[in-house]
A and B are shown apart, each in its own frame.
Chain A
Amino acid sequence: DTGVSQDPRHKITKRGQNVTFRCDPISEHNRLYWYRQTLGQGPEFLTYFQNEAQLEKSRLLSDRFSAERPKGSFSTLEIQRTEQGDSAMYLCASSRTGGREKLFFGSGTQLSVL
């Protein structure tokens, strides 16, 4: 069990640029979640996958955001035409379905849009 891995840890970009984040879940976990967290707030749900299928997307996820999980393994979250309001911590979590399902989080990617 190597834990959930996210890359990069920090990303600084200029407004209007595209950015992509990667998440590698715990290997035996079939669910993968993306959350966004701003200062002083709890994580807010963005989207989640069960295996390779994206099952739910939040209204927070505008059409500039897209997430993929090819082959049900790692996942990518892309933000196109970044805006200053996109500055936040992007957290990835994985879990295994079951009655006592719990989330295991990565260290997050801190995005700063200048």
Chain B
Amino acid sequence: AQKITQTQPGMFVQEKEAVTLDCTYDTSDQSYGLFWYKQPSSGEMIFLIYQGSYDEQNATEGRYSLNFQKARKSANLVISASQLGDSAMYFCAMRELNQFYFGTGTSLTVIP
């Protein structure tokens, strides 16, 4: 079974609007971490946001927030007030023990 599932290969959003990128995960561990990374066309993976499995509050980092629903095993990324520079690939990832697992990514295009 896939550890991380991202079901949206591509998404479009109007500039200044909010967008939600979906991520579900599969683990039987109680302790794990969830991450989102952004990969622009330049190729570098940029860390955006982190949610620990024991964190009771949803993580927020500026315009990024992580909608963590533990019972549903989902960790959706919400980007508010989209900007043209947000156009990139977005990867959801999970740390389980000493391993990091990545999804297949969602390509986000911000339309002016």
Contacts and interface: CB of A to CB of B under 8 A. Distances in A.
Interface residues of B, number: 23
B43 A107 contact: yes
A45 B37 CA distance: 16
Interface string A8-45: 00000000000000000000000101010000111111
Q: Mostly helix, strand, loop or mixed at chain A's interface?
A: strand
A56 B98 contact: yes
Contacts of B47: 102-105
A21 B62 CA distance: 35
B44 A100 contact: no
B33 A100 contact: yes
Nearest to B55: A100
Most buried by A among B33, B42, B102, B103: B102
B22 to A, nearest CB: 15
Contacts of A48: 98
A107 B42 contact: yes
Contacts of A100: 33, 50, 52
A89 B43 contact: yes
B45 to A, nearest CB: 4
Contacts of A106: 44
A42 B52 contact: no
B33 A43 contact: no
A42 B43 contact: no
B29 to A, nearest CB: 13
Contacts of A40: 104-105
A95 B80 CA distance: 28
5 cross-chain pairs, A with B, having the tightest CB-CB distances, nearest first: A42-B102, A105-B45, A107-B44, A43-B102, A108-B43
27 contacts: A33-B100, A35-B102, A40-B105, A42-B91, A42-B103, A42-B104, A45-B99, A45-B100, A45-B101, A56-B98, A56-B99, A89-B43, A93-B45, A93-B100, A100-B50, A101-B95, A102-B33, A102-B50, A103-B35, A103-B93, A105-B37, A105-B44, A105-B47, A107-B42, A107-B43, A107-B44, A108-B43
